[in-house]
Structure 1
Amino acid sequence: MISYLIAISFLLHGILLVAIVILSLRVSKAKELEKRQEQIAKEIEDTFTAYLIEIKEENANLLNKLEENGDNGGKVKPDEETLEDAPYILNTRNDINHSYDQVVEQEDTGSKRGNKNETPSYQPPVPDEQDHYQPSIESTVLQMYNEGATIEEIAKRLDRGTTEIELTLKFHSRMS
């Protein structure tokens, strides 16, 4: 009887040791995963920090260029084509009120010249060539079928197989 109890004890101790080893492996895997996630989070944070620093440098360079070009009163010289359409004024931080006064002054001088009711309006550019609408094969098949054409006639006109036309009509009838 004692040997039986000792055998059960050893068996239980063995099972407990295996369970402890499995649990310690799971804990170590969880710690490794946590470390990897912390490392990835740090890399992402470093990437964002570098990106923000780069954006700040670009903004500083842009402000420096604007200040260098700011000696012309804050105005940006428009192209010759757009000069007739509307005034273009670049507002810098120090020059917002001054440029607003210039716009109001230009509107006043425009109304004094006689174009009181005329306001500059935007007209989109006209494309060189117009878009051409070409219906899909399916819609053409359905239209011809609804007009009374047979499947063979539709296949000949569209240079398609009769099986393709039949399948198109079957799919359409099932969907509707």
Structure 2
Amino acid sequence: MIPYLLAISFLLHGILLVAIVILSLRVSKTKELEKRQEQIAKEIEDTFTAYLLEIKEENVQLLNKLEENGDNGEKVKAQEEPYDLNSRKNINSSISTNQIEGAEVTRQEWSNKGGASSYQPPVPEEQDHYQPSIESSIIQMYNEGVTVEEIAKELDRGTTEIELTLKFHSRMS
């Protein structure tokens, strides 16, 4: 009997040692992950501070340039090139006069046929009718002074459902 108990004891001790080793490995992995996350967070913070410093330096340089120009905070106008009127003439000359005359003929034919004045948009046969939701009809009837029981009878709902809907509406508004 004693050898069996010793065997079971050694077996349990072995299983516990394996479990302790596995758990210690998991703990060490989580500690490594935490260190990595802290390092990444520190790197991100450093990059943000570097960007902020760059932006501040650029702002100071811009303010110095504005003061040198004598604008003193007035609007800075961008230097634009004047519009070239000759480019517009080149575009117009590329369109042939035949195309323009052809377009005018088609417009005249269109107006002679009565195309523009005889057009009537299609009218939908069925008109969409508005059906309010149950919640909105409950609230409307309650605001009109109808009791909860009468609302429940008219809408085929339970009184507790009506009361809950009114309670939710009063909390929302």
**TM-score in terms of structure 2 length:** 0.48
TM-score by length of 1: 0.47
In our comparison, the structure showing a higher alpha carbon Rg is: 2
